[in-house]
């Protein structure tokens, strides 16, 4: 079975991005604190060409997230470039010419656009007919592997509200942003319908895993 | 130094009580799920006259919470009996004739009332002139020991917003209430000004401790 897997870092007060997100500040004011736990890790540093990385309880959790993923779905805000039509010189993502996905990525948008083929096997396909369609296309592209839901918050809320997420892992950072974008907002009672299956306490973060029962 | 210590159970979506709180349902619809982790523990069962309790990673955390507390402050909603004037047959709390506090308790209320002296050393004093006054009276009554902030959410938010809490421990239950009363709401950025000092992962709960730096 090809599962839809979603992982995200969240503050203890429930925010997955700080306020005032912009091209200069893509995860909002203070939002970088959500990710402080990952930067010292060798598993994060080595792909970025950085030395002196460490191994801790988060390492196997991060490694696991990269395994058996055949395609990604993401929201327009996660892909970036601001809302609205794409314009004459369209935004091509945050990740440069060789994005780290190396598989097909499906971007939710109300604004049609031709597919974007980049190096290393990453293609961005822009999907205008909703979250079910994007997931269906991603599942087909994943050819039996799982699909990663990369966020952002709004896209994640739509998939959670529709009960389409099979595995969710919240990396809870013990920080308070005070404002920004909440993940668990307006989902209605009883959502997500997932059971808690694992807690990993690591330096600077607690990873809480939920799976379809 | 007499510290103000605050502990509370919270859902992963940030609620410390479910919706529709009432005398019949004091922590709201679904709110009991916040406390499922505590009921199997011997340290909770034995004082309630129940057998077959267990010991797990939560046991020392719960034991610690009861130590060195000389007085308690709580909000009117936590004391109960609904909002508004006390009436002719006033509500005397949820806890019967011999409440489990065994020390002075200070209740925040806009409605004046004579102190209520119950068995076992528990007295309820009703404080009408604000959170600083209640804390000052509690500190004096505690005679060098710490003061416990017992909740509910509104009283806690007031003390957190005023930066008067010295130790906070969130017992995070891996459940989603979807609606109810949020703890971390409207505090403003940068609050609470407390540093994360400890994580205890236990069955059905993660205890996250924060202290004044």
pTM of the entire predicted model: 0.92
Instruction: For chain A, give the mean pLDDT.
Output: 94
What are the beta bridge partners of residue B148?
B5, B72
Contact A174 B12 (CB under 8 A): no
* B192/A201 CB distance under 8 A: no
Average pLDDT over residues B176-189: 89
Can you read off the two tokens belonging to residue B13? 């979506």
Q: Which residues touch B59 (CB under 8 Å, ≥6 apart)?
A: B41, B42, B43
> For B86-98, b where at least 16 C-beta lie within 10 A, e where not — what string?
beeeeebbebeee
Topology annotation, domain A4-21+33-82+100-211: Dihydrofolate Reductase, subunit A (3.40.430)
User: Whole-angstrom Cα distance, residue A56 to residue A42?
Assistant: 9
Calculate mean pLDDT across residues B160-187: 94
* pLDDT tens sequence across A174-191: 999 999 999 999 887 768
**pLDDT digits over B142-161, tens only?**
999 999 999 889 999 999 99
pLDDT reported for residue B41: 97
- From residue A107, give the alpha-carbon distance in Å to each of A16, A116, A131, B43, B63: 19, 11, 10, 51, 50
CATH 3.90.280.10 fits B4-83+98-211, yes or no: no
Contacts of A200 in chain B (CB under 8 A): 201
Distance from CA of A66 to the nearest CA of B (A): 24
Beta strands A146-149; A4-11: pairing state: parallel
**In A136-151, which positions are buried (b, 16+ CB within 10 angstroms) versus exposed (e)?**
ebbbebbeebbbbbbb
Q: What is the pLDDT of residue A48?
A: 87
Mutant choice from B17, B19, B156, B174 vs A, greatest count of A C-beta within 10 A:
B174
- Looking at the DSSP bridge assignments, the partners of residue B199 are B208
Backbone torsions φ then ψ of A92, nearest 5 degrees: -115, 25
Residue B155 CB neighbour total at 10 angstroms:
23
Please report, for chain A, the start and end positions of each structural domain, with discontinuous segments joined by +: 4-21+33-82+100-211
User: Taking CB atoms and an 8 Å cut-off, how many pairs form between chains A and B?
Assistant: 81
Q: Which has the higher per-residue pLDDT, B30 or A40? A: A40
What is the spatial distance between Cα A65 and Cα A43, in angstroms, rounded to a whole number?
A: 12
Q: What is the mean pLDDT of residues B53-76?
A: 97
Least confident of A119-133, A175-189, B126-140: A175-189
B30 to chain A: which residues are within 8 Å by CB? 189
pLDDT reported for residue B190: 67
pLDDT tens-digit readout, A191-209: 889 999 999 999 999 999 9
Q: What is the mean pLDDT of residues B121-142?
A: 97
| The pLDDT of residue B213 | 84
């Amino acid at each position: 079975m090809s599962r839809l897997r979603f992982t995200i870092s969240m503050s203890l007060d429930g925010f997955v991005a700080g306020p005032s997100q912009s091209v200069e500040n893509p995860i909002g004011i203070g939002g970088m604190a959500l990710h402080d736990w990952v930067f010292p890790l060798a598993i994060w540093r080595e792909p970025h060409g950085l030395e002196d990385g460490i191994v801790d309880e988060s390492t196997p959790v991060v490694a696991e997230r990269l395994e058996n993923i055949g395609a990604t779905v993401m929201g327009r805000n996660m892909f970036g470039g601001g809302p609205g039509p794409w314009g004459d010189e369209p935004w091509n993502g945050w990740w440069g010419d060789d994005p780290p996905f190396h598989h097909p990525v499906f971007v939710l948008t109300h604004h049609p656009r031709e597919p974007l083929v980049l190096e290393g096997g990453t293609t961005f396909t822009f999907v205008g007919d909703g979250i079910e369609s994007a997931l269906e296309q991603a599942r087909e592209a994943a050819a039996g592997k799982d699909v990663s839901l990369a966020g952002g918050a709004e896209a994640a809320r739509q998939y959670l509200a529709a009960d389409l997420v099979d595995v969710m892992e919240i990396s809870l950072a013990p920080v308070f942003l005070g404002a920004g974008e909440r993940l668990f907002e307006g989902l209605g009672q009883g959502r997500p319908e997932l059971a808690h299956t694992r807690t990993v306490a690591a330096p600077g973060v607690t990873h809480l895993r939920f799976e379809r029962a």
